[in-house]
Structure 1
Amino acid sequence: MLQKELYGHFHSDEHHFVDKAWDWVERAAENHAVKLTDFLDPRQAFILSSLVNRHPDVHCRMDGGYPQAERRRALIAPDYRMLEDEDMEMAVLAVSSGDGKFLTLEHGDYMGAILGLGMKRDKIGDIHVIEGGCHCLVTRDAADYLHLNLSQVHRVHVQTELLPVEKLVQANVQLDEITLSVASMRMDGIVSDVFRLSRAKVLIPIQAGRCRVNWKVEEDPSKPLKEGDLVSMQGFGRFKVLEVEGVTKKGRIRVKIGKYA
């Protein structure tokens, strides 16, 4: 069975999504169906692209509202259908307040408020925290509900407005750069240094599947990291390996890390 063959390329936690994605691909090929997904994270987008590439009669377009978007919607269709001008059905939810308290609000505050309304994460794209509030990409079918019901973020009263995607204001992503001196590029050692945890405390979430490298679950503490890797650990945050600067006289490796605020 093809599904079982596909499973070998992906983590067991991803098999449910593999099933859904392959069904979309088969429907496009066999039934000439067109599927517009909700927002996919980069790992889901990679899986879907891999499956689409296995079928010669299917193609897809991905769009998150702007070129550098992390979370994107996918439009899957038979290969004869032109997708460039298709409506990806997104809107910008602009959140603002006049009381000046937005200085203390962060990405997680907005996300928590939106999810607290019963909204599924899949309906939400990238969130840009900007001066005076935030701009959040949302699916059009969720936009009106959020516009009508989002009135408070972390005890701060807010107003919302729906804007076309062209009006999106992007946040300037700032990384807190730190330089580490490590014995090796093992994931557990670098993660423990970045989050200031003991090696023993780091092993628990890694082996429980709460750590991801480039959005893929990674349960092997000894996995070597490399330049460009994006590492996240549930409950602690995420960071990027910006540069391996070289080896010291004592044989340790100097690594520049960019930690997301």
Structure 2
Amino acid sequence: MTEKNSLYQHFRPDEKLFLEKIEEFIRKVEDSYFIQVTDFLDPRQVYVAKILLTTRGITYYVSSDYYEMEYAKIIISPPSPFYEMDFSDFGISLLNINYNDKFNQLTHAQILGTLIHTLGIKRTVIGDIIVKKGQAQLLIDSKMVSYFKNNIHKIGRSSVSLTEDSLENLLEADEFNESVDILTSSLRADNIIASVLKVSRTVAMKLISAEKVKINYMVINKTSEMISVNDIISVRGYGRFIIASDNGLSKQKKHKLTIIRKVHK
């Protein structure tokens, strides 16, 4: 088995195309000695890319190492002294969404829906959407700033205007991580969801069948989907969690898992 196939077998089959895209970035850097910058990546993609880049011995920088953000960009670069990191090379801009919150409070879903479904903007040029009472911000690809400011005037029922701001003024997300230990009879998606959410397995199966469950940001519809360490599971209406570690089997032969849940403050 080649080194490449040996590495790929540790990831899900549906992640192969993403791994090959990162491999293409690596080849371009090695051939040209110019940096390559990814689009915004979800946390799972960042995790996968970092493993691949580290394994290949490639120099890289992740925007979330410099500012708190869930979605991040990666700079893949030739080694020093051929490149010195400059944060502006990530091409990330912060926009404030200004609106009157007296009668309406913007939600994450409203903002994302307007951007993707109404304007047809690709998810990959949008980073985090931060929403607090009366405040909302967007992290976006810097090349899209003018387009956003000129074309986004209404979200939901609210008239809005967008103003660019310094990343130093990035709002802190209203959530924190909570570590929890659980027992589950198997590593199937339905069993783990039932154990984490404290619902019956029947309810967990219905959530999956209704396509309300995502693993690593992709919708699943098979209750028998197997879960692995570092997988990110989100359940619509219940939040999301990551499998932090598999701590072996209990005396009753159940899997002892540590999960990390995102909890709103």
TM-score normalised according to structure 1 size: 0.75
| Kept after mapping to 2: 8 A contact 1:229/1:241 | yes
The match for 1:112 is 113
For 2:259 and 2:29, how far apart are their aligned partners in 1?
45
For 2:174 and 2:125, how far apart are their aligned partners in 1?
23
**Which of these residues, 141, 158, 168, is aligned with residue 166 of structure 1?**
168
* Partner SS, residue 33 of structure 1: coil
The match for 2:249 is none
What one-letter code is carried by the residue in structure 1 that aligns with 2:15? E
**Match status 1:44 vs 2:45:** yes
**Which of these residues, 197, 202, 205, is aligned with residue 203 of structure 1?**
205
- Cα pair distance change 1:64/1:180, threshold 3 Å: closer
For 1:59 and 1:257, how far apart are their aligned partners in 2?
29
Q: Deviations over 1:54-74 (max 9, x none)?
A: 333x31111048533221111
> Which moves more between the two structures, 32-41 or 185-194?
185-194
- Residue 223 (structure 1) shift: 4.7
| Kept after mapping to 2: 8 A contact 1:92/1:135 | yes
- Cα pair distance change 1:102/1:258, threshold 3 Å: farther
| Kept after mapping to 1: 8 A contact 2:182/2:259 | no
- Residue 82 (structure 1) shift: 3.3
- Residue 174 (structure 1) shift: 6.2
For 1:229 and 1:223, how far apart are their aligned partners in 2?
7
What one-letter code is carried by the residue in structure 2 that aligns with 1:173? E
For 1:37 and 1:86, how far apart are their aligned partners in 2?
14
> Which moves more between the two structures, 135-144 or 124-133?
124-133
The match for 1:145 is 147
Task: Report matched runs for 1:237-252 at 5 Å.
Answer: 237-239=239-241
Kindly report the root-mean-square deviation, in angstroms, between the aligned alpha carbons of the 2 structures: 4.1
- Cα pair distance change 1:241/1:37, threshold 3 Å: closer
| Kept after mapping to 2: 8 A contact 1:180/1:193 | no
| Kept after mapping to 1: 8 A contact 2:104/2:157 | no
**Which of these residues, 125, 128, 137, is aligned with residue 127 of structure 2?**
125
The match for 1:17 is 18
> Which moves more between the two structures, 65-74 or 130-139?
65-74
| Kept after mapping to 1: 8 A contact 2:42/2:71 | yes
The match for 1:62 is 62
For 1:181 and 1:210, how far apart are their aligned partners in 2?
19
> Which moves more between the two structures, 89-98 or 187-196?
187-196
For 2:140 and 2:19, how far apart are their aligned partners in 1?
24
Q: How many residues align?
A: 249
- Cα pair distance change 1:259/1:167, threshold 3 Å: closer
- Cα pair distance change 1:202/1:146, threshold 3 Å: same
For 1:85 and 1:258, how far apart are their aligned partners in 2?
33
| Kept after mapping to 1: 8 A contact 2:211/2:219 | no
The match for 2:73 is 73
| Kept after mapping to 2: 8 A contact 1:135/1:170 | no
- Residue 259 (structure 1) shift: 5.8
Q: Equivalent pairs: percent with the same residue?
A: 25
For 2:161 and 2:212, how far apart are their aligned partners in 1?
38
What one-letter code is carried by the residue in structure 1 that aligns with 2:173? A
